[in-house]
Amino acid sequence: MTKFTGWGIASAMLLAAGGAQAADELTLQLKWVTQAQFAGYYVAADKGFYDEEDLDVTIKPGGPDIAPVQVLLGGGADVMVDWLPSALAARENGAPIVNIAQPFKSSGLMLTCLKEHGIESPADFPGHTLGTWFFGNELPLYSWMSKLGYATDGSDGGVTIQKINFNVDPLLQKQVECATTMTYNEYWQVIDAGLTPEDLVVFKYQDEGIATLEDGLYTSEENLADPEMTDKLVRFVRASMKGWKYAEENPDEAADIVLENDETGAQTEEHQKRMMGEIAKLTAGSNGALDPEDFTRTVEVLLSAGADPVITKDPGEAAWTHAITDEALK
């Protein structure tokens, strides 16, 4: 039996510490502020899923003055969350970014209308003003109106599409009869303003066949050419999807974890738990791998919008890869 002296024990501990390697660092840039929209990543960190993959992950919140693609290409992050329309626009404009995973299977975008204006179906849109966010968010709406055969310039038999900010004030103030909302956010702002679901008519883009992919994970072509980085990305995606599935199954706990990470103190428990419940519906059905049919639909919507195009050509398979998720899912 070996007996260690005090010096021997200390030496053994130093040797063990020296032999242990630090976890690999990786930085994720979010598309927006800390909220349940990104719960899977905070859950993966909180529950130790990143630790299990030997990763030290830094999660950077986004905001109105933060462009994730600029952070990524500027070296401030290794991977980012973005919507496919804006990612494809950036790629067409020269940003070498690639979708490596797609945690969100369904779209949360919808058009919310006040029932008092007599809108009960798309047949009732003509003569009304539809408010929407721009910067690429307007393209599904324009595509939908094109499919319906409605002009969007306010002419007879058509509709007027009006640019609005990222809130529901124009709808509440009746400057527009319908407004773009997310199932997990702005719709509930309308409810919190005192209206009831019975006062509203909602049209989900997913149901109308005009949905585009949201909240995917993207990295640079340079990172994908680096074996060490791709190994980290595989582990990151595997742990992140574990976080997302845990969040789906435990939405209230996931919302609490998000709140613990909200350094601004701006989020409320009620809103985050409600948001997480809706987000779980959007990540359901995804194992992390992008569905090529969903990609094709997104591209078709963007190219058939009949408005100022976000993209002018199909980027093809160069814009996405299964290389990371194929390894992560093994």
Q: Give the start-to-end residue ranges of the domains of the chain.
A: 22-105+213-328, 109-208
pTM for this entry: 0.89
Superfamily of domain 22-105+213-328, CATH level 4:
Periplasmic binding protein-like II (3.40.190.10)
Q: Residue 35: which residues within 8 A CB-CB, separation 6 or more?
A: 258, 262, 267, 272, 275
109-208 matches 22-105+213-328 in CATH topology: yes
Low-confidence ranges of the chain (pLDDT < 70): 1-20, 307-309
The highest-level CATH class for domain 109-208 is alpha beta
pLDDT at 173: 97
∠ CA 221-224-229 to the nearest 5 degrees?
130
| Res 162: pLDDT | 96
Pairwise CA distance, residues 4 & 45, whole Å: 38
Nearest residue to 117 via CA among 195, 194, 189, 187: 195
**46-59 pLDDT per residue, tens:** 999 999 999 999 99
Distance between CA atoms of residues 63 and 81, nearest Å: 12
Token pair for 136: 């690429």
7's enclosing H/E stretch is helix 6-19
pLDDT at site 11: 43
Beta-carbon count within 10 A of 260 CB? 11
Strands 24-29, 55-60: parallel, antiparallel or unpaired by DSSP?
parallel
DSSP string, 244-256: HHHHHH-HHHHHH
Residue of 219, 284, 224 whose CA lies nearest to 28: 219
